[in-house]
Amino acid sequence: MCGVIGLLTRREVGPDLVEGLLALQHRGQDSAGVLTSDGTFHLKKGNGTVGSVFNPKNLGRLTGTAGIGQVRYPTIGPGSVEDAQPFYVNHPFGVAMVHNGNVTNYFDLRRELMCEDFRQLTSFSDVEPLLNVFAEGLERTDLKHFSPASVFKAVRGVFDRAHGAYSVVALIHGRGLLAFRDPFGIKPLVFSQQGDEFAFASESVAFDRLGFHGFTDVKPGEAIFVDFKGKVHRSQIQPGTPRPCIFEFVYFARPDSVIDGIEVYEARLRLGERLAREVARQGLKPDVIVPVPDTARAAASSLASALGVELREGLIKNRYIARTFIMHGQDRRALSVRQKLNPVRSQVQGRDVLLVDDSIVRGTTSREIVQMVRDAGARRVFMAITAPPLRCPCVYGIDMMTRGEFVAKSRTVEQIRKVIGADALVYQTYEGLIEAVAGPQPGTRNSQPATRQFCTACFNGEYPTGVTRRYLAQMERERKRWPK
Ligand code: SF4
């Protein structure tokens, strides 16, 4: 999971790209990069957060009124600085590219490009094959008579050869800014126009910081090309079959973003309301509800209202510690939980506490949190999860690739409860998840749920693009080769 941004404006874009990446920092903290164009490409990228990669000196070199940027959360390869985005090729024109997602035929595509098309790849980033396939497609068009049609033809070539999830922003030197989204639209991508200024970003929250008002989604299977004269060209390259990642609404996206027309914060409130029904069904009567910060806050507040139980900030987060989900390695994750969270003794002591969290992946974090609250004097500790059990690896860009890592893979809810040491464990139902995220049918208030489909593969193993066992095994081998 990564964050991407692209800007074409009338002013210097370097500072705005960095500002936009700061708003998308939650989507990846492994590396950050920006490429701008003022007639020449200027590139700065490196491992680390936006704040650690950019400084006034290197920002001063990022001149130009068009540019792209990315924050990376590595999904494949060693995660070295060579894999930091943006990437660019010199021919044709000079094309730079960033992406969010994961190309599921990456290994085959890489081999084809290197052995059959004789292209040299320098990294293990899956944007590099996308970039090379696109550049190859563009090369085959009539370069002297460049047109948006040439761009769209090259995008079609990418759709034909690359499988998986990819939301892409690219800069074609001297020609324009391009964005496209795979036919399932698994990863988010939004577009905004403010007069003669244009922006693309993974989440709408980036636009709020940059003064862009109003936006549309780049549709699944669609490409949008903004030429340097400021004309917008849109083309539905392949029919879209929308399957946006449902986990964005549960965990990953910022609550102040709107993705595919759904307010993330509202979706989380509905998840809490639905979860309250499951808690009531189990007959649990907690004295206090405590969200596990930060993602579960909205759901915990609506759950507390629905149950008529008081909500308390019983766990305080040290905001200077990275998100545990993104921290690599089991030991480091467990350690970071204690570094990151601390209980408020007065709020939990002698009480039956219901902790609300968004998901359980390996169980390490939940076990630490339950024990921490128990150590702080809670009488009983219940756990409620706003999503159903995670059981299958995400092949589209979230780092939970190994099948054996899921605590829920071959355990019942009761067995998971024992693993995490809670007195009760309640999960959201699958139907509750879908209905809560989809929200009500427009104009029907809360009665009728909207009929929408999502990628829910990590809950039920139904991958929108289809995934072979061979690919899953290959991913696991690669993960072992480059342990995180
Ligand atoms: S498998 Fe899960 S995390 Fe991955 S894209 Fe699908 S819903 Fe999102």
- At 82 the pLDDT is 86
Atom of ligand 1 nearest to the CA of 252: 3
pLDDT for 156-169, tens place per residue? 999 999 999 999 99
Residue 121 and residue 52 share a domain: yes
Structure tokens at 464: 């929108």
Q: Tell me: do 233 and 280 sit in the same domain.
A: no
pLDDT at 9 over 60: yes
Mutate to test the pocket of ligand 1, among 458, 465, 475 (most ligand atoms within 8 A of CB): 458
Whether residues 226 and 276 share a domain: the answer is no
Strand partners, 42: 36
pLDDT recorded at residue 75: 63
Residue 471 has what pLDDT? 82
Whether residue 19 lies inside any domain: the answer is: yes
Total-model pTM: 0.93
Residue written as token pair 């909207």: 450
Q: Is the CB of 246 under 6 A from ligand 1?
A: yes
Structure tokens at 233: 């060209």
Q: Is the pLDDT of residue 481 over 80?
A: no
Ligand 1 touching residue 398 (CB < 6 A): yes
Q: Report how far ligand 1's centroid is from the alpha carbon of 247 (Å).
A: 6
- Ligand 1 atom, smallest distance to 390 CA: 2
Do residue 108 and residue 190 come from a single domain?
yes
pLDDT band at residue 320 using 50, 70 and 90 as cut-offs: confident
Is residue 446 one of the residues assigned to a domain?
no
> Which band of pLDDT confidence, cut at 50, 70 and 90, is reported for residue 404?
low
User: What's residue 11's pLDDT?
Assistant: 94
pLDDT tens for each residue of 191-247:
999 999 999 999 999 999 898 999 999 999 999 999 999 999 999 999 999 999 999
465 is a domain residue: no
Q: What is the mean pLDDT of the chain?
A: 92
HEC profile of the chain: CCEEEEEECCCCCHHHHHHHHHHCHHHCCCEEEEEEECCCEEEEEEECCHHHHCCHHHHHHCCCCEEEEEEECCCCCCCCHHHCCCEEECCCCCEEEEEEEEECCHHHHHHHHHHHCCCCCCCCCCHHHHHHHHHHHHHCCCHHHCCHHHHHHHHHHHHHHCCEEEEEEEEECCCEEEEEECCCCCCCCEEEEECCEEEEECCCHHHHHHCCCCCEECCCCEEEEEECCCCEEEEECCCCCCCCECHHHHHHCCCCCEECCEEHHHHHHHHHHHHHHHHHHCCCCCCEEEECCCCCHHHHHHHHHHHCCEECCCEEECCCCCCCCCCCCHHHHHHHHHHHEEECHHHHCCCEEEEEECCCCCCHHHHHHHHHHHHCCCCEEEEEECCCCCCCCCCCCCCCCCHHHCCCCCCCHHHHHHHHCCCEEEECCHHHHHHHHHCECCCCCCCCECCCCCECHHHHCCCCCCCCHHHHHHHHHHHHHCCC
Residues 333 and 218 in one domain: no
- Whether residue 468 is contained in a domain is answered as no
Could you give the percent of the chain with pLDDT greater than 90? 77
Instruction: Please report, for the domain that includes residue 342, its CATH number.
Output: 3.40.50.2020
What pLDDT sits at residue 277? 97
Q: Is residue 301 a contact partner of residue 311, using CB atoms and an 8 Å limit?
A: yes
Which of these ranges, 324-338, 368-382, 428-442, has the smallest mean pLDDT?
Answer: 324-338
Least confident of 141-155, 342-356, 418-432: 141-155
For residue 399, pLDDT over 90 is answered with no
Ligand 1 mutation pick, 398, 402, 459, max ligand atoms within 8 A of CB: 398
Confidence at 415, pLDDT banded by 50, 70, 90: very high
- Average of pLDDT values for 20-25? 97
The number of folded domains in the chain is 2
Which range among 106-115, 187-196, 274-283, 307-316 shows the weakest confidence by mean pLDDT? 106-115
- The answer on pLDDT for 333 being more than 70 is no
| 2 given a catalytic annotation | yes
* Least confident interval from 38-47, 365-374, 444-453: 444-453
Percent of the chain beyond pLDDT 70? 92
Residue 103 lies in a domain: yes
Give residue 474's pLDDT.
80
Please indicate, yes or no, whether residues 53 and 135 belong to a single structural domain of this protein: yes
Please state, in angstroms and rounded to a whole number, the distance separating the CA atoms of residues 199 and 195. 11
Task: Return the number of other C-beta atoms located less than 10 Å from residue 429's C-beta.
Answer: 17
Contact criterion met (CB below 8 Å) for 357 and 383: yes
**What is the number of the ligand 1 atom nearest to the C-alpha of 243?**
6
The verdict on residue 463 lying in a domain is: no
Q: Are residues 294 and 431 in the same domain?
A: yes
Ligand 1 pocket test, candidate residues 189, 243, 247, 406, most atoms within 8 A of CB: 247
Mark whether 51 and 169 lie in a shared domain.
yes
- Residue 467 in any domain: the answer is no
pLDDT of residue 477: 78
pLDDT for residue 66: 98
Q: Residue 483: what pLDDT?
A: 57
- 384 Cβ closer than 6 Å to some ligand 1 atom: no
428 has pLDDT over 70: yes
- Local confidence band at 251 (pLDDT 50, 70, 90 cut-offs): very high
Regarding the beta carbon of 326 and ligand 1, being less than 6 Å apart is answered no
Whole domain around residue 46: which residue ranges? 3-242
Within-domain flag for 349: yes
CB atoms within 10 A of CB 457: 23
The pLDDT of residue 163: 95
pLDDT tens across 445-458, in order?
555 667 799 999 99
Q: Is the CB of 394 under 6 A from ligand 1?
A: yes
The predicted-structure confidence for 265-300, as pLDDT tens digits, reads as follows: 999 999 999 999 999 999 999 999 999 998 999 999
Phi/psi of residue 332, nearest 5 degrees: -65, -35
Same domain? For 283 and 375 the reply is: yes
Q: Is the pLDDT of residue 475 over 90?
A: no
pLDDT at 324 exceeding the cut of 60:
no
The verdict on 224 and 270 lying in the same domain is no
User: Are 388 and 278 part of one and the same domain?
Assistant: yes
Q: What is the pLDDT of residue 318?
A: 87
434 lines ligand 1 (CB under 6 A): no
pLDDT value, residue 472: 82
pLDDT bucket at 329, cuts 50 / 70 / 90: low
pLDDT at 74 > cutoff 70: no
CA distances from 151 to 11, 135, 143, 233 (A): 25, 10, 10, 10
In CATH, what number is assigned to the domain containing residue 188?
A: 3.60.20.10
What is the pLDDT confidence band of residue 484, given thresholds at 50, 70 and 90? Answer: low
Which comes out higher in pLDDT, residue 98 or 121? 98
Q: Quick one: 146 and 295 in the same domain?
A: no
Q: What is the pLDDT of residue 401?
A: 52
Q: Please state the atom number of ligand 1 nearest to the C-alpha of residue 245.
A: 8
Question: What pLDDT sits at residue 468?
Answer: 83
